[in-house]
């Protein structure tokens, strides 16, 4: 009985994500938890992962690429799982796991369960559907159980001082199917990382008329938060695609989410409905975001943001 | 190359969904059936590959009941060369859908499969990538840009990932799942819609593909997510600032 958790070595904070995924796997078989990390930088990352409490060991596989192709990665996941006889394979529901785990499941000829936010038992899970408007309880008879998990939905286990063993993972050959040329250089002013930021300031199509995203970026910078965007803003070219929050973007749960000029379509709300405090600043008091927000201010964001910054700055 | 585009028919995603009184499933009233919006982006990408000379044929495929033929006809009207329906019940799980698509792709000698990154009804996001794993083909997920490179015989794909946008090249045969940002799907013209009405659609049974419909998932129940507690309207910016301060949100020293 063991759980294999696959970690993205390129995540800005792999240890924080891993600690939550280990927290999520507590509801599973109750057996040993093994972490697997693959890539040119896997060694450096493995050291930090080894201090997460409650795991048996970290498997570390070298690969010549920093961004390992999913075909090569999936091969190693399958080999590691077979070697250890794992009955659960887990990765985060962000783009890393969302790309990897369905492939792994296809190779193992089982159906995965994606976007898990609650584990009822080792084979029964809760996940969102229809842009987060409905939750579904699904049970799988597949073995092994292949899952992607929303990290924010689970409390992290502590990270301690003592490190478990880091050992050599599978060394499958490279297959040469796909190859990454790296990330595009970005003009992104996004500051913090969306998945870990305590505060996220997001902008919508409401910024189109006032000359762009500067107010969002300024407020995020001042508050030490990350920048998010609605699809309306991305489609208008105001923000890069990877900043999009929602059903077809990122699903996040910051402590505070400040929406500037975002109407609050269900597809957008799907990405933030678990946020601690939703704040809406919108000229339209009837906008869905204003109706659902914990704190709603009716007003023009171009007037509100500068005075808000002033009022939140001491001295 | 022959391109297969997987298309799911779903109820209009902008219509509200309700949970049935007994929690056994969802109800969506008066929603017109539409193609899953991202699948239209996949079809548009396939048509552009054919128009640029990279692809020789585009096959639109639905795995669903006869009522889904309207969606396949729309795909023909948009420009697909053939429309094939694999006969299956509505709401079939992604796992059997993937097995059926994989079997059809092999039968038809397809070298590129395009699919939406997720169907926006169940939001599982797995069909295309399951097919890639089953067939042992290459894959790229979440494409927001796609070009065929004649010199290298590879697809050059831009994809949206959590940390930014990544450039990936892909050797074929392969599977690419697409993001809504990939393109703007064309509309079918009225004459094309009329012509598509006269075209014949092909239909295949799972048995003919050597497959069955078995799944390993059991959908036990559905429920509404806990409602957020009612919020407050703040009167002015000063009040908002005070509330934010109480949450520990203040300007950092820079
Ligand atoms: C299949 C599908 C998937 C989708 N996925 C996503 C997704 O992942 N994420 C997402 O965000 N959307 C998604 N959408 C789109 C979604 O339905 C909405 O169209 C989109 O979220 C609207 O963006 P918006 O709120 O920025 O724009 P709008 O709806 O145009 O809202 C702009 C708001 O700004 C306000 N405003 C204007 N000027 C000012 C001002 N000066 N000060 C203050 N307020 C002002 C207006 O009152 C309005 O409420 C999806 C849609 C579909 C069909």
A91-139 pLDDT, tens digit per residue, is 999 999 999 999 999 999 999 999 999 999 999 999 999 999 999 999 9
Which ligand 1 atom sits closest to the C-alpha of A300? 42
Are the C-beta atoms of A125 and A119 separated by less than 8 Å? yes
Q: What share of chain A is helix, strand, coil (3-state, %, to 5)?
A: 30, 30, 40
> Is the predicted pLDDT of residue A153 greater than 90, yes or no?
yes
Buried b (16+ CB within 10 A) or exposed e, A228-240: bbbbbbbbbebbb
Put simply, the chain A residues between 269 and 298 with a CB less than 8 A from any chain B CB are: 273, 276-279, 281, 285, 292-298
Give kind and range of the element (H or E) at residue B192: helix B190-198
Q: Which two tokens stand for residue A66?
A: 């920093």
Query: Please, are residues B204 and B84 in contact by the beta-carbon 8 Å criterion?
Result: yes
In this predicted structure, the answer to whether residue A191 has a pLDDT above a threshold of 70 is no
Query: Chain A residues with CB inside 8 Å of B134's CB?
Result: 106-107, 109
Rounded Cα distance between A191 and A226, Å, is 5
Q: Which two tokens stand for residue A143?
A: 């073995």
Q: Is the CB of A188 under 6 A from ligand 1?
A: no
Which residues are CB-contacts of A144 (< 8 A; sequence separation ≥ 6)? A81, A86, A87, A88, A89, A108, A110
Average pLDDT of A70-78? Answer: 98
Angle formed at CA B46 by CA B44 and CA B49, multiple of 5 degrees: 110
Probe residue for ligand 1, chosen from A94, A132, A206, A285 as the CB with the greatest number of ligand atoms within 8 Å:
A206
> Residue A140: which of B158, B217, B250 has the nearest Cβ?
B217
- Sequence-distant (6+) residues with CB within 8 A of B93 are A111, B215, B217
Ranges of chain B whose pLDDT falls below 70: 253-254
Cβ(A290) to ligand 1 under 6 A? Answer: no
The pair of structure tokens assigned to A21 is 């995924």
Geometric angle at alpha carbon B147, from B144 and B150, rounded to 5°? 165
- Closest ligand 1 atom, CA of A210? 41
Q: Give pLDDT, residue A302.
A: 97
| Terminal Cα-to-Cα distance of chain A (whole angstroms) | 58
pLDDT tens column, B186-243: 999 999 999 998 889 999 999 999 999 999 999 999 999 998 999 999 999 999 999 9
Question: Is A242–B160 a contact, with Cβ atoms under 8 angstroms apart?
Answer: yes
pLDDT of residue A243: 95
Task: Please check the confidence at residue A30 and state whether its pLDDT lies above 80.
Answer: no
Among A133, A137, A101, residue whose Cα is nearest residue A120: A137
Q: What is the DSSP letter of A52?
A: B
> Which H or E run includes A26?
none
Q: Is A261 in the pocket of ligand 1 (CB under 6 A)?
A: yes
> Are B94 and B100 spatial neighbours (Cβ–Cβ below 8 Å)?
no
Is the pLDDT confidence value at A187 over 70?
A: no
CA B219 from centre of chain = 21
Q: Rounded CA gap, B206 and A211, in Å?
A: 55
Instruction: Give CA–CA dist A21/B127, Å, rounded.
Output: 24
Confidence of residue A46 (pLDDT cuts 50, 70, 90): very high
In tens, the pLDDT along A268-312 reads: 999 999 999 999 999 999 999 999 999 999 999 999 999 999 999
Helix (H) or strand (E) holding B97: helix B94-107
How many angstroms separate the CA atoms of B230 and B150, rounded? 57
Q: Are B26 and A130 in contact (CB under 8 A)?
A: yes
d(CA A112, CA B118): 14
- Rounded Cα gap, residues A244 and A239, in angstroms: 8
Measured on CA atoms in the order A190, A195, A198, A202, is the torsion positive or negative? Answer: positive
**What DSSP string describes A107-175?**
HHT---EEEEEEEEETTEEEEEETTTTEEEEEEE--SSEEEEE-GGGSPPPPB-S---EEEE---PPP-
Residue A167: what pLDDT? 96
Contact A223, A191 (CB under 8 A): no
Give the domain ranges of chain B. Answer: 2-222
Whether ipTM > 0.90 holds is yes
Q: Among A75, A71, A49, which Cα is nearest to A60's?
A: A49
Is the predicted pLDDT of residue A175 greater than 70, yes or no? yes
CATH hierarchy code of domain B2-222:
3.40.50.620
Q: Is A268 at the interface with chain B, CB within 8 A?
A: no
pLDDT of the residue at A210 = 86
Write the residue in B124, B162, B225 that is nearest to A250 by C-beta.
B162
A230 close to ligand 1 (CB < 6 Angstrom): yes
pLDDT at A52: 98
Give the integer Cα–Cα distance in Å for B117 and B139: 12
Closest CA to B35 of B65, B13, B66: B13
* CB B169, CB B156: distance < 8 Å: yes
Q: Which structure tokens are listed for A111?
A: 């159906």
What CA–CA distance (Å, rounded) separates B167 from B169? 7
Cα–Cα distance measured from residue A237 to residue A231, given in angstroms and rounded to the nearest whole number? 10
Question: Is B32 in a helix, a strand, or coil?
Answer: coil
- A198 in the Ramachandran plot: left (φ > 0), alpha (ψ -120 to 50) or beta? alpha
Helix (H) or strand (E) run with residue A18 in it: helix A14-25
Query: Packing angle between helix A14-25 and helix A42-49, nearest 10 degrees?
Result: 50
State what percent of residues in chain A have pLDDT above 70: 98
Select from A205, A187, A290 the least CA-distant residue to A244: A205
């Amino acid at each position: 009985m063991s759980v294999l958790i696959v970690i993205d070595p390129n995540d800005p904070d792999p240890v924080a994500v891993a600690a939550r995924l280990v927290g999520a796997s507590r509801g599973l078989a109750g057996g040993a938890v093994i972490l697997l990390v693959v890539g040119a930088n896997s060694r450096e990352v493995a050291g930090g992962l080894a201090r997460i409490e409650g795991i048996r060991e970290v498997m570390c596989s070298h690969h010549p690429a920093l961004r390992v192709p999913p075909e090569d990665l999936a091969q190693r996941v399958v080999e590691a799982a077979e070697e250890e006889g794992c009955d659960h394979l887990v990765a985060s529901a962000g783009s890393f796991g969302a790309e990897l785990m369905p492939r792994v499941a296809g190779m193992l000829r089982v159906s995965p369960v994606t976007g898990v936010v609650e584990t009822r038992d080792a084979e029964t899970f809760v996940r969102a559907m229809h842009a987060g408007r409905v939750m579904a309880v699904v049970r799988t008879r597949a073995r092994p159980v292949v899952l992607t998990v929303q990290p924010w939905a689970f409390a992290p286990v502590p990270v301690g001082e003592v490190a478990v063993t880091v050992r050599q993972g599978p060394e499958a050959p490279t297959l040469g199917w796909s190859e990454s040329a790296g990330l595009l250089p970005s003009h992104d002013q996004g500051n913090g990382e969306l998945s870990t930021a305590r505060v996220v300031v997001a902008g919508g199509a409401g910024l189109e008329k006032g000359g762009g995203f500067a107010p969002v970026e300024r407020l995020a910078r001042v508050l030490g938060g990350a920048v998010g965007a609605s699809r309306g803003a991305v489609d208008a070219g105001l923000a890069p695609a990877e900043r999009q929050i929602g059903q077809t973007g990122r699903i996040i749960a910051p402590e505070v989410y400040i929406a500037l000029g975002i109407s609050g379509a269900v597809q957008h709300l799907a990405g933030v409905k678990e946020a601690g405090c939703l704040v809406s600043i919108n000229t339209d008091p009837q906008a869905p975001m204003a109706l659902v927000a914990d704190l709603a201010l009716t007003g023009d964001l171009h007037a509100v943001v500068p005075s808000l910054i002033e009022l939140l700055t001491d001295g | 190359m022959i391109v297969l585009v997987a298309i799911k028919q779903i109820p209009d995603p902008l219509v509200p969904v309700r949970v049935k009184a007994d929690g056994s499933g969802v109800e969506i009233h008066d929603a017109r059936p539409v193609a899953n919006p991202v699948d239209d982006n996949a079809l548009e990408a396939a048509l552009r590959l054919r128009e640029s000379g990279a692809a020789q044929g585009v096959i639109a495929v639905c795995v669903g009941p006869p009522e889904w033929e309207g969606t396949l006809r729309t795909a023909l009207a948009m420009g697909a060369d053939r429309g094939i329906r694999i006969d299956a019940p509505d709401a079939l799980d992604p796992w059997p859908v993937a097995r059926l698509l994989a079997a059809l792709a092999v039968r038809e000698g397809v070298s590129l499969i395009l699919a939406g990154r997720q169907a926006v009804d169940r939001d599982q996001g797995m069909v295309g990538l399951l097919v890639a794993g089953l067939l042992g083909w290459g894959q790229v997920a979440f494409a927001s840009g796609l070009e065929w490179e004649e010199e290298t015989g590879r697809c050059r794909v831009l994809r949206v990932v959590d940390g930014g946008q990544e450039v990936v090249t892909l050797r074929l045969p392969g599977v690419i799942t697409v993001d809504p940002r990939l393109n703007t799907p064309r509309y079918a013209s009225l004459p094309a819609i009329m012509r598509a009405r006269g075209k014949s659609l092909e239909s295949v049974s799972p048995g003919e593909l050597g497959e069955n419909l078995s799944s390993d998932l059991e959908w036990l129940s559905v429920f509404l997510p806990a409602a957020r507690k009612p919020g407050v309207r703040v009167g002015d910016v000063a009040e908002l600032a005070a509330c934010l301060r109480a949450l520990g949100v203040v300007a950092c020293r820079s």
